[in-house]
Structure 1
Amino acid sequence: MAVEYRGFRVTVDAKADATDTQWQCRAELQGIEAQTQQATLPAVVLEIPKLKIDVLMALSVVEQSAKQSIDEWHAKQPAVA
């Protein structure tokens, strides 16, 4: 699943781990607008127990974490905001 947020494309993926007990979630952040293309934000990686949350909620959690990372980056770059 991919969404665009404040000049970035956030690509989110979740899969079960080898033991099928946790969701391994990852969000890749890629700058897609002129002012964000040179930005290098680290991927957001989370492991969430499958017993506590379903896959859609896990995707939502990692997406929100990625958006928070983007917001923090924008806060440090007032000229881009």
Structure 2
Amino acid sequence: MSLKEEFEKYAEKVKSLPDATNEDLLIIYGLFKQATCGDVNTSRPGIFDQKGRAKWDAWKGNEGKSQDDCMSDYITKAKQLLEAAGCST
């Protein structure tokens, strides 16, 4: 299985994650966006959009990382979260 195929498999599995902290979800989101879109290409949301700002900051935190590195990190984090939730990996 290629890295991209494994990444897509875990991206689907994470959607059904029963209980994850906001911090974990932001880590997953930032890695996903960097792996699929590359570096941040939008302006930071305004002060009244706290959720949007948190997501943007999570993505920005991975700026400069290669897509392959982000896919690999995403898979590792997804496996940890799924195992902690008692889901099959």
Please tell me the TM-score bracket, short chain as reference: 0.3 to 0.5
Structure showing greater radius of gyration is 1
Structure having the larger proportion of residues in strand: 1
Which protein is richer in helix relative to its size?
2
